[in-house]
Amino acid sequence: MTIWPDPERQLIVRYLAGLDLHTPKSRTYYKQALNGFQDVAERHAELGMAVLVAWLEASSARWAATTRLHRTRIIDRFLDHLLETGAIERHPVVILRDECNIKQCMPVWRALASHDPGAALANLRQPKPFGSVLGEIMAEHVALMRRRGYKYASQPMWLLRFDRFLQLNPALHDQPIGVMLEHWSAAKRTRNHANECEKLKRLLAKILRHRDPSIPPRRPDPRPEKEVAKQWRRPHIYTPADVRRMLEIARSYPSPRAPLRPLSIYTMLLLAYCAGLRRSELARLDLGDVDLQRGTITIRQTKFFKTRILPLPDTVMAELRDYIDARRHAGASQDPQAGLFWHDQGNDRYSPAGVAWLLVDVIRQAGLKPPQGRTGPRLHDLRHSMVVNRILEWYRSGINPQERLPFLATYLGHRDINSTLVYITVTQDLLHLANERFRAVGAPCLNLGREAQS
């Protein structure tokens, strides 16, 4: 039984009292939006699409279009709260979102704010996942592989794209799988699509052989993958001078509302380069993962389900100690399971997307990446740079890098040495030092061999 809208509006009062709003202005915005929404809801018999459209129309006279869409987030959170507390039986936005088979609520609000909400929602609707003629077979295979312990993240995406294509082309339902795949291959002419189609053909052949072992195996075609490899972007190797410049920019990063942020970015960048951490690993670091006594950090259950303990140089540990002290003085949680990189405003850890945005912004400010776009050096290139610069140091110290590569692979969290070899970009410095080592060590061995033959 619904108890909202309540005439005395106590639910809105209690909801606002439970929010951690930082400024009185925010409370005013929330109160205006929620009271206006209840005014509209009280004029309708039930809470449905008509209420949402009517509120958007009533708000158009008060707010600009962008402000109105921003206020929809306030309504979404309030309706979530009412549904959780049992004050309403159904969340109209979530119902429309589920009917459209999409994950976000904002596209639903944009459709409702258009001149023809019904047509906009119809255009928004996506095919049901695994709803094609082959959907059941593909869904069973994905479930089987995940039960066996595989993450299986990329393969379902290929299958879902193919499944969506089949749903949008019902004329192919009675055709053999080979004909379906031919039409899917012809849908786009890009190299990446051709490579994905080849992978999909292998995957479907595997699925069909699981169901009928008498089906002969399919011989893979390596050509699409080779074509894609030709357009791979070469990693940018940051020099030590580049890294120092980025660290200086991170230290002075403008952040008047979050005083700890510059030091947080500085420490993130330090770990990304010195320890070769991925952005997701930086975001998942807990306060308890740093052992200041032993000089190590623990990276838990990351890619390939690996947990590793990484020793760090004394200089890096000293910077980590300073950051943890500043973090404590800033009022962050001291729970060992709290995020190491604490957000001043959100009172929570930084997300992987937040870590990436901040570090990429530092790379842009250092002049190493264009002001806009996805071109230029990437954040992940710090990991490539760590590998190349480490090998350079080994060469300069007279150490044979081949003997140390298994240790480097373990440090980076790779399954084997082959994954680490991908990170070795041959630079002029690396080529020069490798040649010098061969001249000092390898060439005399060849001369000895010639003398023995003579």
- Cβ within 8 Å of residue 46, ≥6 positions away: none
Answer yes or no: do 118 and 22 share one domain: yes
**Which is nearest to 332 in space by CA: 245, 410, 392, 263?**
263
Condensed to tens digits (0 to 9), the pLDDT of residues 333-355 reads: 999 999 999 988 777 899 999 99
290 pairs with which residues across the strands?
297
Is 436 a domain residue?
yes
Query: Would you place residue 3 in the very low, low, confident or very high pLDDT band (cuts 50, 70, 90)?
Result: confident
Answer yes or no: do 116 and 163 share one domain: no
Is 221 a domain residue?
no
Helix, strand, coil proportions of the chain in percent (round to 5)?
Answer: 60, 5, 35
Query: Would you place residue 264 in the very low, low, confident or very high pLDDT band (cuts 50, 70, 90)?
Result: very high
How confident is the model at residue 394, as a pLDDT? 92
How confident is the model at residue 46, as a pLDDT? 92
| C-alpha–C-alpha distance, residues 124 and 147, integer Å | 33
How confident is the model at residue 2, as a pLDDT? 65
| C-alpha–C-alpha distance, residues 30 and 373, integer Å | 35
CATH number, domain containing residue 265:
1.10.443.10
Domain range holding 161?
A: 135-216
Residue that finishes a domain, picked among 124, 150, 166: 124
Is 230 a domain residue?
no
Query: Would you place residue 451 in the very low, low, confident or very high pLDDT band (cuts 50, 70, 90)?
Result: low
How confident is the model at residue 453, as a pLDDT? 55
Q: Is 4 helix (H, G, I), strand (E, B) or coil?
A: coil
Contact 84, 18 (CB under 8 A): no
Residue 278 a catalytic site member: yes
H-helix or E-strand containing 352?
Answer: helix 352-365
Of the two residues 449 and 230, the one the predictor is more confident about is 230
Answer yes or no: do 314 and 370 share one domain: yes
Condensed to tens digits (0 to 9), the pLDDT of residues 63-110 reads: 999 999 999 999 999 999 999 999 999 999 999 999 998 989 999 999
pTM value? 0.63
Both tokens of residue 244? 């120092």
Answer yes or no: do 24 and 98 share one domain: yes
Residue type, 61: A
> Could you say which of 77, 209, 303, 378 is catalytic?
303
Of the two residues 48 and 431, the one the predictor is more confident about is 48
Average pLDDT over residues 389-416: 90
Q: Could you tell me whether strands 342-343 and 348-349 are parallel, antiparallel, or unpaired per DSSP bridges?
A: antiparallel
Q: In this prediction, what percent of the chain has a pLDDT beyond 70?
A: 96
Answer yes or no: do 57 and 32 share one domain: yes
How confident is the model at residue 116, as a pLDDT? 94
How confident is the model at residue 302, as a pLDDT? 80
Is 318 a domain residue?
yes
> Could you say which of 201, 278, 327, 369 is catalytic?
278
Residue that finishes a domain, picked among 124, 152, 176: 124
Which of 76-85, 126-135, 432-441 has the lowest average pLDDT?
432-441
Is 226 a domain residue?
no
Answer yes or no: do 439 and 347 share one domain: no
Taking the alpha carbons at both ends of the chain, their separation in whole angstroms is 100
How confident is the model at residue 436, as a pLDDT? 81
Average pLDDT over residues 212-225: 89
Answer yes or no: do 269 and 371 share one domain: yes
Condensed to tens digits (0 to 9), the pLDDT of residues 292-303 reads: 999 999 998 787
Question: How many CB atoms sit inside 10 A of residue 225's CB?
Answer: 14
Answer yes or no: do 370 and 388 share one domain: no
How confident is the model at residue 306, as a pLDDT? 80
Looking at the 3D structure of the chain, how many domains does it have? 4
Answer yes or no: do 252 and 375 share one domain: yes
Answer yes or no: do 22 and 87 share one domain: yes
Is 2 a domain residue?
no
How confident is the model at residue 230, as a pLDDT? 77
Which of 120-124, 183-187, 299-303 has the lowest average pLDDT?
299-303
Query: Would you place residue 418 in the very low, low, confident or very high pLDDT band (cuts 50, 70, 90)?
Result: confident
| C-alpha–C-alpha distance, residues 345 and 149, integer Å | 38
Answer yes or no: do 352 and 274 share one domain: yes
Query: Would you place residue 443 in the very low, low, confident or very high pLDDT band (cuts 50, 70, 90)?
Result: low
Q: In this prediction, what percent of the chain has a pLDDT beyond 90?
A: 71
Query: Would you place residue 454 in the very low, low, confident or very high pLDDT band (cuts 50, 70, 90)?
Result: low
Residue type, 319: E
Packing angle, helices 24-41 and 49-60, rounded to 10: 130
Q: Is 46 helix (H, G, I), strand (E, B) or coil?
A: coil
Average pLDDT over residues 415-430: 85
Each as own residue / partner, the long-range contacts of residues 389-397 (CB below 8 Å, 24 or more positions apart, any chain) are: 389/237, 389/240, 391/424, 391/430, 392/429, 392/430, 392/433, 395/430, 395/433, 395/434, 395/436, 395/437, 396/433
- Per the prediction, the chain carries an average pLDDT of 90
Answer yes or no: do 301 and 346 share one domain: yes
| C-alpha–C-alpha distance, residues 142 and 437, integer Å | 50
Average pLDDT over residues 389-393: 93
Residue 9 a catalytic site member: no
Average pLDDT over residues 196-208: 93
Alpha-carbon distances of 83 from 1, 79, 330, 361, rounded to whole Å: 11, 6, 36, 39
Asked whether the predicted pLDDT for residue 449 surpasses 60, the reply is: no
Is 227 a domain residue?
no
Average pLDDT over residues 403-424: 89
Is 4 a domain residue?
no
Task: Kindly write down the DSSP assignment for every residue of 253-290, as one continuous string.
Answer: ---TT-TTHHHHHHHHHHHHHHS---HHHHHH-BGGGE
Condensed to tens digits (0 to 9), the pLDDT of residues 14-45 reads: 999 998 887 888 889 999 999 999 999 999 99
